[in-house]
Every structure is written in C-alpha cells, then in structure tokens.
Amino acid sequence: MAGQLSPDEKFHLITRNLQEVLGEEKLKQILQERELKLYWGTATTGKPHVAYFVPMSKIADFLKAGCEVTILFADLHAYLDNMKAPWELLELRVKYYEQVIKAMLESIGVPLEKLKFVKGTDYQLSREYTLDVYRLSSVVTEHDAKKAGAEVVKQVEHPLLSGLLYPGLQALDEEFLKVDAQFGGVDQRKIFTVAEKYLPSLGYAKRAHLMNPMVPGLTGAKMSSSEEESKIDLLDSKEEVKKKLKKAFCEPGNIQNNGVLSFVKYVLFPLRGEFCVKRDPKWGGDKTYTQFEEVEKDFAEETVHPGDLKASVEAALNQLLDPIRKKFQSPELRKLTSSAYPSKTNQKQQRRGPSLVPSRLDIRVGKIISVEKHPDADTLYLEKIDVGEPEPRTVVSGLVAYVCQEDLQDRLVLVLCNLKPQKMRGIESQAMLLCAATEGEPRKVEPLDPPEGSAPGERVFVEGYEMGKPDDKLNPKRKVWEKLQVDLNVSEELTAQWKDKSLMTKLGRIKCKTLKGGKIF
C-alpha cells in the first residue's frame, strides 16, 4: 500500500492526530526522495497500560506510510530515572516490554517483520556513544539540561546528575539509531528542542520531531504507570476494566480532560475508522460514527450518555486486550510478568535484603606476582596477587597438592575480592583464588583462565548480570557466596558458568583447561 501512496498522502498519514511537528519541510523533502526512518523509545520502568495504544496506533500509521520504524527499549534511561529498579529487574522488564508491545501490535494488526527492536544498552555503553556523551556534556548548559527534562524527569531543588544527562542521551539516540525523525509525546518537546539545538554542534544532522498529545487518564490527569487508578493495565481482566471505567472521570457534556473520549479519538478511530455507541432502543438505539467530531459533539450536547460511552469503549477495549491476555496466559509469560513486576509482598521481602544474584560477587582478573609456601602450613601457598589496586592482595590457597608453584607464578587467575578477610594459620587471606575441581578420586584442581589479553582488575561478570553492583563486603552470616557457589561449574565446552550462564570479562568467556563438569570453588 505504501508504494501506491503519494508523498503528500504519506505525509498526511505520518502527521495525522499529532499535536505538533517540528521540521515539517524536512519531512516533506525526505518523502519526495525516499522512505522516512524514525524511532519511538520507551523507558522500561512501570507496566505499559492502555494509553500505549496511542503511540502504537501511530506506529501503524507510520508503517502504512512506508516508514522504517525502530522501537527502542531504553533500559539505560530507565536506570537513570532515580535508579528505581536494579539492573537485574530492568533486564526482566525489557523482556516484558518487548513481549507486551509485540502483543499490542499484533492485536491491532501491525506486521512485526517491518519493525526493528533495539535495547538501549546494546549501543549506549559503546566507546563511541560514551565519548559523545562527554562531548555533549561539554556544550550543554546545566540550565538547558534541567529545562529539557522538566516534563519527564522529577524536578527537585538539587537535581541528580543522572536526570541532567537524560535529555542529552535521548538526543544522541537519534544519531546512533541513524533516523530522520523521533516520535514521542508532547511532554518531550523540550528534549526534542535540545536535540535540535545541540546535535549540530557535534557535527550531526538536526532531526525532525513528531509529537503525540498527552492522553488524559481515567482520573482526568495524565495516565501514569505509577498511579493505579488512572490507568487500565494491558493484562487487566474484563471485570477490572469494567470497574475502572465505571469509576473513570466522564462528566455529562464535559469534553475536557476526558480520558474515555480521548481513547475513542486517538486509538479507536485511527485503528478502525469508526466507533459504535451501543444504546438501549428507547434512547435512540445503536449509532455508528465515522468522524470523531460527531461523537464529541453528541457527547457535548448530552445526546450520548457517559454510561453508554463507557460501555461502548469497554467492549472495544476488550476486543483489543483479549489477544494480549490470551498470549500472556502461557506459563513462561506469566512467570516473566511476576518476576519483572513482583507483588508488594515480594517487594517487601526484597527490601529486607538484596536478591541472591551473581552480580553481588566482586570477581576480578588477578595476576600472581609472587608465590611461596606458607611458613606454617605445608599444604598452603602464600600468593601476592595484583587485582588492579595500588597494592597487591595477600591470598592463602590450598593448592600445594594440585598445582606446581612454578605454574602459578605470573599467571592470570580469577579472584573473589569481597569475602570477609580471614586468618589462615596466622596470615590474613584478603581474597579467594577461584579454581575448578573434580569431585572423584584422585581429585583434580585447576585455576580458571581469563581471556587472553586480560588485565589485572578487570571485572568478571555473569552473562545477563553485567550491570549489577557487587556488595562492598559479603556478609558471612547470610552465606551469599556459599549459596551462589552451588550453581558455579564448568560446562562440557570448558566454559565457567553460573546456572548455564557464562562467566565473562569484556574480552570473552572464562575457561578451564581440562575439567569438564568440574565444580568452581
């Protein structure tokens, strides 16, 4: 269909129902030459709700117009939002967002193969992006950064630096995603103008910006993930939808800040081209509208009663939500939902202490500088290991029976650095050298091998848990190391793993020379 549309028809589809467009002429010029490339980003924080159908319906318009559309799951932006969620939770929320947004798009008939899905940290932690963040921070003023985030970042007298970085990162996304335009809500207008002002100062092109109006929530204010009564969740049951719509702000004749009416305008009409109000025959019977303005006029004149409008929206909304509810009945997606958004009971349990995740371990690459026998124990070595600190750490290890002294000298190893130091035969061991071992007799033990080219002090992480922060010191009473160590082993491919996830540095996987299936201790 897009190939049969004229540039003017494409422009109409792209811009209809938007509140504002910055750079109209640029859009028209591009459409004369080729298809438009644009992106829409969402920070993976609270659960997506029915207001997300507003940008989804616009994404349907963009695809009809032949646009190349990228959806960005902005996990780094979510983390910078006052660090409301730890990285482990954000990883799960990115997966939830991807599944639920794909389900929404399928529900409204949008072909997923024409979309590109990107996670922010796939490129936002790269050297090039990081250097551009520093370059941008050298030209953007504190005043402009604070003003840009006024509508989307919580404003306080003494703002966190993370909130000031947020607008600049969003501006850089336009360049790194190689798009012509960014689409978002009108609440992001000041971020868009910062992008237009500052990207050219880095030698990058100024992009166009497409802005949706802000759709009122059920209470009359902005629909918010954090305000339960203002929104209908995508997985709410039919009973919950009815209950929330019944409570929704929808005064007779009042067309201002009316979330129910706005849903008809910005979701149902763009998707279906019509809207049917179901009514009792004594009040005129059912009426099908082909123009939103007619619905608005009849509601303003009180020809359409709020109860009938709500009931009709309820029926239409449930048709959109039914495929999503059905998809999320699978055991895998139910588990993902409960893990990404734990119940308040689970959250209380989490507040009592950090969850048991491998990112709590401070494992680093170390280089053994010297190794000698313990003066008071024949089975123990005394090693000095460089772990990237000003002074090497003293480590006592029971490897005399398994590894030759000469084989340890100057080799790279893995060192667990945040155990509580303990004395071993009168000498304090300040870390633990990690090895793999077989359980049978004769027992074999081998130190683990970091990737070639690794440097002392480089962090070792478990795949999928890259962003977590290690504890300063592991509390021995809670036995964090002992509980995590149970799931550490060597795979058949001789890769060190935790629960089938590889141990890694930035250069690659941690290996073991020969001990397939060995336990790591």
Q: What's the pLDDT tens digit per position in 422-457? A: 999 999 999 999 999 998 788 999 999 999 999 999
> Are 264 and 385 contained in the same domain?
no
> Are 150 and 269 contained in the same domain?
no
Q: Which helix (H) or strand (E) holds 445?
A: strand 445-447
Report pLDDT for 218. 61
226 neighbors 46 (Cβ within 8 angstroms):
yes
Is 441 part of a structural domain of the chain?
Answer: yes
Dihedrals phi, psi of 403, to nearest 5 degrees: -130, 130
Confidence (pTM): 0.65
442 neighbors 387 (Cβ within 8 angstroms):
no
Residues 240, 312: Cα–Cα separation, whole Å: 16
Report pLDDT for 351. 45
Is 226 part of a structural domain of the chain?
Answer: no
> Are 311 and 368 contained in the same domain?
no
CB atoms < 10 A from the CB of 27, how many? 23
**Peptide bond preceding 342: is omega within 30 degrees of 0, i.e. cis?**
no
> Are 366 and 345 contained in the same domain?
no
Regions of the chain with pLDDT less than 50: 220-227, 345-352
Report pLDDT for 3. 59
Give the total number of structural domains in the chain: 3
DSSP codes of every residue in 362-426 = -EEEEEEEEEEEETTEEEEEEEEEE-SSSSPEEEEE--TTTS-HHHHTT-EEEEE--SPPEEETT
DSSP state of 216: B
- Which tens digit of pLDDT belongs to each residue from 366-383? 999 999 999 999 999 999
> Are 166 and 93 contained in the same domain?
yes
> Are 192 and 50 contained in the same domain?
yes
Report pLDDT for 197. 94
Mean pLDDT (the chain, rounded):
89
In total, the chain counts a number of residues equal to: 521
What's the CATH number where 310 sits? 1.10.240.10
Find, among 101, 113, 110, the residue nearest to 324 by Cα: 101
> Are 75 and 156 contained in the same domain?
yes
What's the CATH number where 488 sits? 2.40.50.140
Is 270 part of a structural domain of the chain?
Answer: yes
Residues spanned by the domain of 242: 238-349
